[in-house]
Amino acid sequence: MSSPPTTLGQYQIIREIARSNDIVYEAYDPLMNRRVAIKELLMPPGSTPQQQEDRISRFKREAQAAGTLSHPNIMTVYSFAEDGPRTFMAMEFLDGNTLRAEIDSKGSLSIPRAVEIASAVLSGLEHAHSKGVIHRDIKPDNIQLLSDGGIKITDFGIARLTFQPNLTMDGQVFGTPSYMSPEQVVGREIDARSDLFSVGVMLYEMLTGRKPFSGDSVVSTTYAIMNKEPEQPPNLNWGVWSVISRSLEKSPIMRFANAADMRAALEEVASPNQSRLPAIDPHAPAGYLPASNPYMLTPPPPPIAAAGPISAPYNPYQSPDPMANPYAAQYNPGAQQQGLSFSYDPYQPGAQYGGASGPINPMPMLPPNYFPPPRKLQLIKPETLLFLKKMAVALLLFGTMFAVIYILLNSLVQEAQAGARRDMDKQNQATVAKAHDDAKQNKPEKAESEYLDILKNDQSNLDALDGLGALYSQKAVNALDAKQSTELYLQSAKNYEDEAEHQTSNAARDTAGKNFAQAAIGAGNAGKDIDEYDKRTEIRSTLERAKAYVTDNPLLSDQLQQLLLSYGGS
């Protein structure tokens, strides 16, 4: 790791704080007499010019995203500048720890503390969204808890600026998988409600110490986000859980409309007086959940007194005598003395007291909790079911027959294609041999035409690519001027490069790569005096690609490096 610079622009570097995709330094601003954080763009080694340009554009977009915002819950960006080849931004210096460190050290946070942090984040997001900035990467790692109690949102590196053209193509996915919304997972257009989903995930993790959607891999995690519902933690009151579950809705339209609505709802339900279930008005009509027993919808019906003298209070929960016959006819002792037999009917006048007004037809008594068995519904007639079974068998047989026919036809087609390829290979071999002979007999135009005819039908023909590369290098040596020589060397390098990419043998790939590097060096030497910007750019790009094929050849590698420096490369 290289030592940090002593200065960047007007800022005096004190020490390196962190290093990941970029480098962050602690620095001092002598003009404003304040401590600042400097974030320097770190360019990955081997980046192409297009990749470098894209990285710089995104870094500048991050500075613009945070620089347009001024809010106590958002990290302040002071400036964006360049110092020679170095690109950096100066930011507010934040002490304290990240929310990630807080969760990792404590396991979970109390409801008041979690609500305080989430409310501060939502307040900052409310301001950012009003300015057209969508963060897209809200997570505990990007929330800074300051030593003075302040809470700041950091890292707008992948923020979406709705007032500028989007740098992300449709279908591209940016973010941290565990905290991404469903629409962010599939690469669809997102709005401010995607950030609210991420806040819901973070709030759940603060209160439980675990993420609501987890998995062993990115695939399983994103599948859970798209298809599963989070498990309700047992320690949350119903109000906080209702806010979290609404923010984690799969469809954006089902979530809170904006950060202000979510913050207001969260602060309203986070009161310690909220219970796990909503309180019920004791004067509410019958059928509502009574406060004394919230799990019973209606009170039990009044008990029915048993026949005969009452000897004990009625207990509706007492199990009946297992030896009794609930179907036996009951009788009235008074009536029995008159030679009459009665069955007990609790709904007849006077029956509950042991008397009777006259003969009553005998009837069996059913057990108190007896219900007739449910009737089986016959949804499909037997004959219809038999027809469907026969139809399924017929479809299976026809499907098997068609599968066999398809396999046979496919094998015949593949055999025919293989035969055609063999014939073409034989024809190409003959043409390649003839082209080689023409090249040896100093007939370069004829040989070139034959090689090109082969490559029209078979772009990866290794013999043709190798022969054409050698032919162009020979023509470049005999060229009349530097511009023509440069063009021929570039064509030679292109053919050798294609050959190296398609070679399956390591030795053959090394040989083709060496030829590619020599052709690139020839183009670099021949084109030194060419002033055309596009042609010099093409030469530099060819030299940079050739370096990858001669890492174990110091001589060629040094020549390529020297030429790259002369063309403004690195």
Task: List pLDDT tens digits, range 62-77.
Answer: 888 788 888 999 999 9
In the chain the domains, ranked by start, together with CATH numbers, are 7-92 (3.30.200.20), 97-269 (1.10.510.10), 459-566 (1.25.40)
Whether 25 and 4 have beta carbons less than 8 Å apart is answered as yes
Q: What is the pLDDT of residues 312-352, one digit of tens each?
A: 443 433 444 434 333 333 333 343 333 433 333 333 343 33
DSSP of 512-557 = HHHHHHHHHHHHHHHTTT---HHHHHHHHHHHHHHHTT-TT-HHHH
The better pLDDT of the pair 390, 325 is held by: 390
Decide if pLDDT at 298 tops 80.
no
How far is residue 34's CA from residue 63's CA, in Å, rounded to a whole number? 20
Whether 289 and 276 have beta carbons less than 8 Å apart is answered as no
The residues that are catalytic are: 137
- Confidence (pLDDT) at 348: 39
- Confidence (pLDDT) at 234: 84
How far is residue 251's CA from residue 28's CA, in Å, rounded to a whole number? 46
Q: What is the pLDDT of residues 177-235, one digit of tens each?
A: 899 999 999 888 889 999 999 999 999 999 999 999 988 899 999 999 999 999 998 87
Output phi, psi for 15, to 5 deg: -165, 165
- Residues in the chain, overall count: 570
Whether 242 and 256 have beta carbons less than 8 Å apart is answered as no
Decide if pLDDT at 294 tops 50.
no
How far is residue 79's CA from residue 60's CA, in Å, rounded to a whole number? 11
Mean pLDDT in the chain?
79
Whether 522 and 473 have beta carbons less than 8 Å apart is answered as yes
- Confidence (pLDDT) at 46: 83
Rg over CA atoms, the chain: 41
Decide if pLDDT at 477 tops 80.
yes
Which pTM value belongs to this model? 0.48
Across the range 78-95, mean pLDDT stands at: 90
Give the pair of three-digit tokens for residue 222: 């994103």
Q: How confident is the model at residue 84 (pLDDT cuts 50, 70, 90)?
A: confident
Whether 207 and 218 have beta carbons less than 8 Å apart is answered as no
